[in-house]
Amino acid sequence: MSNKLSEHFSRHEFACHCGCGSADVSSELVDVLEQIRARFGAPVVVTSGRRCEAHNRKCGGVTSSQHLAGTAADIHIEGVTPQQIADYAETILPAGGIGIYSTFTHIDVRKNRARWQGI
Q: What is the pLDDT of residue 1?
A: 55
CATH of domain 11-117: 3.30.1380.10
| pLDDT tens digits, 77-95 | 999 999 999 999 999 999 9
Find the mean pLDDT for residues 66-77: 98
| Order of all β-strands in the sheet with 105-108 | 45-48, 72-76, 105-108, 96-100, 113-117
- Is the alpha carbon torsion for 89, 26, 55, 111 positive or negative? positive
- Write down the pTM of the prediction: 0.95
Percent of the chain's residues with pLDDT above 70: 99
For residue 50, pLDDT over 90 is answered with yes
